[in-house]
Amino acid sequence: MLSSFWSALGASVSAALVTLVGIYTIRHFEDWGRKYSIYFVCFAAGVLISVSFLHIIPKAFEMNTNAPVYLLGGFALLHLFNRFITAFVCERGVNPNFGIGLVPMIGIGFHSFIDGFVYSITFSVSMFTGVLATAGMVLHEFPEGIITYLLLLRSGFSERKSFLLAFYAASITTPLGMLVSYPFISQTNTSLLGALLALSAGALVYVGATHLLPQADKEPREYTLHALGAGILVSVLIVLSK
C-alpha cells in the first residue's frame, strides 16, 4: 500500500511539473510552444486511448461484472460536465472574460483535480496499470498548461497573474486530488476498485477521443498522424512487454 501511495504521488507531482513546464514554455518561448504543442496532443491521444482499450478497460471488466455500465458512466459524466460548463456558464456569463479565460480555467482545474483521483485508482489496482495511465496523462499535461495560460492571457490578465492562475488551476490541483482521494480509494474492495477503474477509463477515453483528437484533426501539420501513431505504438509495445 505504501509503495502505491508514493508511486501515485510521484506520478501526480510529475504531471504537475510537466504542466508547469508547458506554462513556462509558452510564456518564454511562445513561438516554439505554439509550433510543437500539437504533437504532444496527438501523442497523448494515442497513448490514452490505446492504454484504455488494451489494458485498463479489460482490467476493470475482470474486477467488476458491471464495469461496462461504469465505463459508459465515466464517459457520459465528463461529457455532461463539459456541456454544462459551455452552455450554462461560458455562454451566459455577464462578463465575456468568463467565457474566454476564467471558466475554462475552472473546468481545467476540476479536470486536473480528477486526474489526481485517476492516479490514486490506477496505482491502487497495480503498478503496471498506474504506469500505463501515467504515460498518457502526463504527456497531455504539457499542452494543457499552454492552453490554460493562453486563455487567461487572452481574457485580459497580466502575464504574471495568468502564470500564477494557470499554475494553481492546472498544476497544483493534480497532486491535491491524489492526496484527497487516496485514503478512501486505498481502503476499497476489489469490486468497487474495478468500478472506479472503469469510471476512470471512461474519462480517459473521453479526454483522448473528444478533446485531444479533434484538436489534431484541425491541424494540417505533416507529422500529426505520425505522432498519433507513435503514441499507439508505444502503448502496444508496453502492454505486450508485460
Q: What is the pLDDT of residues 131-189, one digit of tens each?
A: 888 877 787 777 778 777 877 876 778 888 889 999 998 899 999 999 998 998 877 78
Q: Each residue of 92-130: pLDDT tens digit?
A: 444 555 545 665 677 677 778 878 888 998 898 888 888
Query: What's the predicted TM-score (pTM) here?
Result: 0.68
Range of the domain at 169: 1-27+42-241
Cα separation, 46 vs 212, in Å, equals 9
Q: If you ran DSSP here, which 8-state letter would residue 208 be given?
A: I
pLDDT at 94: 47
Question: Do residues 125 and 190 touch, judged by C-beta distance below 8 A?
Answer: no
pLDDT at 156: 73
Overall domain count for the chain: 1
In a domain, 34, yes or no: no
Cα separation, 121 vs 61, in Å, equals 15
Give 169-189 as a DSSP string.
Answer: IIIIHHHHHHHHHHHHHTT--
In a domain, 32, yes or no: no
Question: At 207, is the pLDDT very low, low, confident or very high (cuts 50, 70, 90)?
Answer: confident
In a domain, 3, yes or no: yes
pLDDT at 95: 52
Question: At 32, is the pLDDT very low, low, confident or very high (cuts 50, 70, 90)?
Answer: confident
Helices (H), the chain: 2-28, 30-51, 57-63, 67-84, 96-97, 103-125, 127-154, 159-166, 173-185, 190-206, 213-218, 224-241
Q: What value does the mean pLDDT take over residues 71-87?
A: 78
In a domain, 58, yes or no: yes
